[in-house]
Structure 1
């Protein structure tokens, strides 16, 4: 009987350690960057560029003519941007046992935006909402490793991405 329990425990551990997490985590909004895109007739919807090496280039006027006035606009380092509100930004806090999530708290924490960036009046990329783990405490196994996680799993700079050409600081 003891051998059966030991075998069951070993099988359970090996099966659950493939891709699992035991603990509590916060899942929050991050930004997904796309530097080669095409806009569609439907507002805030994009498709992959047909020719990703030479994607179409848009001006602010092109996009505003097709989608209407943006929710906000501004300048971020060396790029200008226009942003269209894309619903609420949510924060999820929950426990996880193996691959089964157990929601504990779900809160709206602001608004998600689709941002289109411009440099020299030409589109250079966009960011759109994407959700990922931002904080965790527990034990997890991923593709290549297992281990304990405690605290922040990604920092703010990672979560708030920009197109590559917009990351360069202005030189005065």
Structure 2
């Protein structure tokens, strides 16, 4: 990863951020809050299930596949953050990440959930608390991503100067 140290550091920061986001989303029923989770996979399955071989359907509906899909989608967002947004956003790392977190939240709330028939931000399926909780879960992702990524970059720079 010497050729692409930013991507490697982004991957590390992203794994921490996605895990934090996952834990927040998984904790929602404990509160109890119904916060949307897995909307993109639901949307993908809505359009691909009729095309899937019957034996593959249980695989894509399994909890492990859903978690893998969540991490892969998150890593896509991490790549977008590291390569496109982070260099252009103002402020310290956590501020950049917080600003960036608005993008996945907006994609979900303005595109995915409406396409699932749940309305903008899920107003037809979620309570106000659920909508707010999902916003917080996305903010946790962004804040952790931005903060950890900035910390790792700072450490890398300090190590290179030594």
TM-score (norm 1): 0.22
Greater strand share, 1 or 2? 1
Greater length-normalized contact order (CA 8 Å, ≥ 6 residues apart): 2
Query: Which of the pair is proportionally richer in helix?
Result: 2
